[in-house]
Amino acid sequence: MYRFYINDIDDEYHYLELGRVFLPDDGFEVIPYRGASLSGMLTGNSFFVNEEGSSDRDEIKREFYGLLSDLTGLDPPWGTLTGVRPLKPALEIARSSSVENMKTEMSRRYLISPEKASLLADIASYQIGNIGGVPWEKASIYAGIPFCPTRCAYCSFASNVSPAEEHERYLKDLLKETAYAGRLAKEHGTEIESVYIGGGTPTTLTAEQLSRLITAAAESFSIDPAELEFTVEAGRPDTISEEKLSVLRSLGISRISINPQSMKDETLRLIGRDHSADDIREAYRMASRTGFSVINADLIAGLPGEDEKDFEKSLREIIDLGANNITIHTLSVKRGSRLRESDPGYYRRNTKTVSAMLDISRGILSGAGFSPYYIYRQKHQTAALENVGWCRPGSHSIYNIRIMEDRQTVIGLGAGAVGKVYFPDEDRIERIANVSDHKIYSERFDEMLARKDEYYR
């Protein structure tokens, strides 16, 4: 057990997060300290940080990073950056000076590697060149469908394997919440920029239920799904049918996600999926026939049993099948997932292989005409790496970009939805969360409706 006494700090949170990049939770302690110097008094695995009493958090974290690196022999490429949104500080620097200056400053301030600085530069350049500033007066909508046909081994999202009658009961409440939130938005003149229906797996609903949901959203918020960015996750191919895709297109939806995670049948079985790679191929063929203009795919680097060749094969096939918006995820083993329970330290292994997978993805996608356009990180990711969204020209997702900027109101609907209210004068977000369990959502439905009023107080 390592003990790190950090001088002259009020809150250990940021230092705990950095420590977890190097060490397991039960392998160290961070102890805020004020008083006489402890240098020369500590023995064994105890260390004193910030002897000079600096008040600069970044400076203290750089010192702490150096100590952790010396102790473990690790040199994590994201340096001292531990948050979800590594692009946020990078964009602020790039917009105030230049992208080149941003690369230099991010490396100096946060000790990130040249490769990660270049990745941030590419994403910043794409967003500056292709995406307008955040329209603060507009909002986005997220509606959650918390059902899946099976539960993946790495998942801890608000998703449930539930019978059809529960889907219908939940949908009726979601439609009421949608109507209520839409009425409030109209009363306050809220304009909608984008809509995202996620989950779970929204296409666990029937074609008729999907039609009711999308129609209700369009009518409640006075929007035309064909005239703004409106995305529906169709992530699991075993929930996709010609009928459902045709209904989506008939309502003006042009963007869907079909998320294989892997094209290797053995891997799909290991992670708890009830479909084959052939089912994924057929889902893409159906989507192509139906005429969707943007098809997103998610692939995960670091799934159990996969090596670089498996990952590369999956990526190349997904590109060939027609995905023009691809998110490369680094495996995140979340609390509450089966994989976390069975092997808590899994995400700390396999780091060289996963790093190589991300390098492979960058080479292949760049060569195929894709650009990286958004990025985020999660806790318990292998090697504390990242998730990167890639797109062919014009197929980027405004919703994905806005959600990572954290500078736009998001109206959250349904179980598990976390809404946000943005206050531009203070550059501040307040979160408004619905409960995650769909049964509790229905039991406390009046409370969920009342929370919608909080968007406009």
Domains of the chain (ranges; CATH) run 2-72 (no CATH), 87-130 (no CATH), 138-413 (3.20.20.70)
Q: How far apart are the C-alpha atoms of 238 and 259, rounded to whole Å? A: 11
Closest among 178, 79, 134 to 386, alpha carbons compared: 79
User: Residue 151: what pLDDT?
Assistant: 67
Which pLDDT value is given to residue 394? 92
The pTM score is: 0.93
Helices 277-290 and 308-321, packing angle to 10 deg? 20
- What's the pLDDT score for residue 344? 61
Residue with tokens 């929370």: 451
- Cβ–Cβ < 8 Å for 430, 420: yes
Mention every residue, 6+ apart, whose C-beta is less than 8 A from residue 236: 148, 149, 201, 203, 204, 259, 273, 275
Nearest to 272 by CA among 247, 244, 300, 252: 300
Looking only at the bridges linking them, the beta strands covering 255-257 and 294-301 are parallel
Distances from the Cα of 219 to the Cαs of 213, 225, 455, in angstroms? 10, 10, 20
Q: How many CB atoms neighbour CB 262 within 10 A?
A: 25
What separation, in Å, do the N-terminal and C-terminal C-alpha atoms of the chain show? Answer: 48
Q: How far is CA 69 from CA 155, 188, 190, 272, in A?
A: 30, 52, 49, 36
Q: Which two tokens stand for residue 293?
A: 């203009």
User: Residue 69, class by beta-carbon neighbours within 10 Å (0-12 exposed, 13-18 middle, 19+ buried)?
Assistant: middle
| Helix runs in 39-138, H state only | 57-72, 87-96, 99-110, 114-130
pLDDT of residue 5: 96
- Cα 200 to Cα 234: distance, rounded to the nearest angstrom: 10
**356 token code pair:** 């190589």
Residue spans of the chain under pLDDT 50: 336-337
Widest CA span of the chain, in angstroms? 73
pLDDT attached to residue 380 = 82
User: What is the per-residue pLDDT for 336?
Assistant: 47
Residues 6+ apart with CB under 8 A from 64: 4, 6, 15, 18, 19, 49, 80
Mean pLDDT of the chain: 93
Which of the 8 DSSP states describes residue 347?
G
**What would you report as the CA-atom Rg of the chain, rounded to the nearest whole angstrom?**
23
Give dist(CA 257, CA 275) in Å, integer: 16
Rounded Cα distance between 44 and 40, Å, is 11
What is the predicted pLDDT for the residue at 274? 86
Whole-number Å distance between alpha carbons of 257 and 416: 19
Burial status of residue 56 (CB atoms within 10 A of its CB: 0-12, 13-18, 19 or more):
exposed
With b for 16 or more beta-carbon neighbours within 10 A and e for fewer, the 1-16 pattern comes to ebebbbbbbeeeebbe
